[in-house]
């Protein structure tokens, strides 16, 4: 995360599906559960959600099928009109926008990638990537130059004249990513973009995605049901159940301090040593002795040192400066999976 200023601010947002959702929400008893709402003939796609996304942050939203994660992201871009609450993008209430203003926001500020590639079969890679620029009305030379630039960025240089049918699944997904990047969006929405890929290509695409984020620093909302994928990509993770956000926090805090029993069960199979970093365990009131470890190192990375070391407290440094010390016994408990 590079800036805590929220790019997206979502406050007490509801999205109800049913005959008269606004009327029902206005008279609904406070604290009504998901099941009670369903008994009344409505579905709470999003249930009283308040969340913010900072500039340059990658927020990963996850949950089981039907948890509301895709519905929430569609509310962020107003592909769904919300039933209650407010959503602001760059400080502007998106529900107050006219149709033209909303189209301009999506065309100029937002990029979207979904699990179905949605490529135009009779257009080449270059033509597919340039398509949103064509819709924007850019001239042929300008859009070709930009399309060539992003095709190179996603590693498809040399395949500009291929048709989608001539590409692998991973390559098709790269075209989809390039197409969304062509408009240079400030905000990037990705809805399970790698779920249709086999594990090896999926891993390669995650690596490519991290490389792109390192270069571009976009504000990203990424949906997945794969916790390993979330751990690799996220600055913060929001876990949803029945339309509500159960917990939104850093990966370290999610696995160390689950806020609800559902989150605990959701994360109980995760190897905490792979997720928790030394910086999270650093006590700023302690200094420790000897050579410090890096704050960004995971407990798994430090396994050999922790087993062989004899210090009670080990200094932890960030950007060359000691920020505190971690308890070796606490780190060892995480390493061996002690409760």
pLDDT in tens, 137-192: 889 999 999 999 889 888 899 999 999 999 988 888 889 888 888 887 889 998 88
Would you tell me how many other CB atoms lie within 10 Å of the CB of residue 313?
A: 19
Q: How many of the other CB atoms lie within 10 Å of CB of 195?
A: 14
Domain span at residue 141 reads: 6-271
Q: State the sign of the Cα–Cα–Cα–Cα dihedral 124, 127, 131, 134.
A: negative
Two tokens, residue 49: 């959600």
Task: Work out the average pLDDT over 212-234.
Answer: 89
**Which residue carries 């709402």 as its tokens?**
37
Contact between residue 326 and residue 313 where contact means Cβ atoms under 8 Å apart: yes
Among candidate residues 244, 247, 222, the one with its CA nearest the CA of residue 233 = 222
What proportion of the chain, given as a percentage, has pLDDT over 70?
97
Answer whether 324's CB lies under 8 Å from 285's CB.
yes
* Token representation of residue 317: 């440094």
Q: Choose the final residue of a domain: 254, 271, 288.
A: 271
Q: Based on the domain organization, do 266 and 296 belong to the same domain?
A: no
CATH, residue 317: 3.10.580.10
Q: Measured between alpha carbons, how far is 296 from 211 in angstroms, rounded to an integer?
A: 18
Residue 338: per-residue pLDDT: 61
So what's the pLDDT on residue 220?
A: 92
DSSP string over 156-201? -TT-TT--GGGS-HHHHHHHHHHHHHTT--SEEEEESTTTTS-HHH
- Greater confidence, 202 or 327? 327
- The pLDDT value given to residue 339: 56
Q: According to the model, what pLDDT value does residue 195 have?
A: 78
* Residue 284 sits in the same domain as residue 308: yes
Tell whether the model's pLDDT for residue 283 goes beyond 90: yes
Q: Parallel, antiparallel, or unpaired: how do β-strands 219-224 and 187-191 relate? A: parallel
Q: So what's the pLDDT on residue 113?
A: 79
**230 versus 5: which is more confidently predicted?**
230
Residue of 37 and 112 predicted with greater confidence: 37
| Amino acid 116: pLDDT | 66
Mean of pLDDT values over 244-259? 95
* Beta carbons of 38 and 200 less than 8 angstroms apart: no
Indicate whether 199 and 258 sit together in one domain: yes
pLDDT score at 225: 86
Overall average pLDDT of the 295-309 stretch: 95
- Across the chain, what does the average pLDDT equal? 91
Res. 122: pLDDT tops 70: yes
d(CA 77, CA 88): 10
Average pLDDT over residues 218-232: 90
Residue 1's pLDDT band (boundaries 50, 70, 90)?
A: very low
Cβ contacts of 219 within 8 Å, gap of 6 or more: 7, 8, 53, 54, 55, 56, 57, 186, 187, 188
- Domain membership of residue 230 (yes or no) is yes
Q: What is the CATH number of the domain that holds 242?
A: 3.40.50.300
Q: Does 2 have pLDDT greater than 60?
A: no
Phi and psi dihedrals of 275, rounded to 5?
Answer: -100, -40
User: In this model, does residue 196 exceed pLDDT 80?
Assistant: no
Phi then psi for residue 209, to 5 deg, are -65, -45
Q: Confirm whether 1 is domain-assigned.
A: no
Asked if residue 309 and residue 255 are part of one domain, the reply reads no
Residues 232, 306: one domain? no
pTM of the model: 0.85
Contact 132, 183 (CB under 8 A): yes
Q: What percent of the chain has pLDDT over 90?
A: 67
Distance CA 241, CA 65 (A): 9
End residue of a domain, out of 271, 295, 328: 271
* DSSP E strands, the chain: 6-17, 43-54, 58-62, 84-89, 92-93, 110-114, 187-191, 219-224, 236-241, 244-249, 293-294, 313-318, 321-327
When pLDDT is cut at 50, 70 and 90, the band that residue 4 belongs to is low
How many domains does the chain fold into? Answer: 2
pLDDT exceeds 60 at position 337: yes
* Nearest alpha-carbon partner for 178 in 196, 159, 197: 159
Question: What pLDDT is attached to residue 285?
Answer: 93
Determine the Cα–Cα distance for residues 162 and 74; give it in Å rounded to an integer.
32
pLDDT interval class at 117 (50, 70, 90):
low
């Amino acid at each position: 995360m590079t800036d805590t200023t929220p790019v997206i601010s979502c406050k007490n947002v509801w999205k109800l599906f049913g005959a008269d959702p606004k009327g029902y929400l206005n008279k609904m008893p406070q604290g009504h559960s998901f099941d009670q709402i369903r008994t009344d003939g409505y579905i709470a796609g999003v249930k009283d959600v308040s969340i913010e996304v900072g500039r340059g942050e990658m927020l990963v939203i996850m949950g089981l099928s039907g948890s509301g994660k895709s519905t929430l992201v569609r509310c962020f871009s107003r592909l769904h009109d919300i039933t209650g609450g407010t959503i602001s993008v760059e400080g502007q209430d998106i529900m107050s926008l006219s149709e033209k203003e909303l189209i301009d926001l999506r065309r100029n500020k937002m990029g979207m990638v979904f699990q179905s590639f949605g490529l135009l079969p009779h257009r080449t890679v270059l033509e597919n990537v340039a398509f949103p620029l064509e819709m924007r009305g850019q001239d042929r030379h300008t859009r070709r130059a930009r399309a060539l630039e992003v095709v190179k960025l996603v590693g498809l240089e040399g395949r500009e004249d291929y048709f989608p049918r001539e590409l692998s699944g991973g390559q098709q997904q790269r075209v989809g990513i390039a197409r969304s990047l062509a408009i240079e969006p400030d905000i990037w929405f990705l809805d399970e973009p790698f779920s249709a890929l086999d594990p090896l290509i999926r891993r390669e695409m995650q690596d490519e995605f991290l490389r792109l984020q390192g270069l571009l620093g976009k504000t990203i909302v990424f949906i997945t049901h794969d916790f390993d994928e979330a751990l690799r990509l996220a600055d913060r993770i929001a876990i949803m159940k029945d339309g509500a956000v159960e917990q939104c926090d850093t990966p370290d805090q999610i696995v160390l301090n689950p806020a609800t029993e559902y989150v605990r069960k959701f994360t109980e199979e995760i190897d905490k040593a792979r997720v928790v970093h030394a910086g999270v365990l650093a006590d700023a009131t302690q200094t420790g002795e000897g050579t410090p470890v890096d704050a960004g190192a995971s407990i798994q990375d430090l396994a050999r040192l922790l087993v062989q070391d004899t210090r009670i407290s080990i200094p932890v440094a960030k950007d060359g400066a000691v920020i505190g010390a971690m308890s070796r016994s606490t780190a060892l408990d995480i390493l061996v999976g002690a409760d």
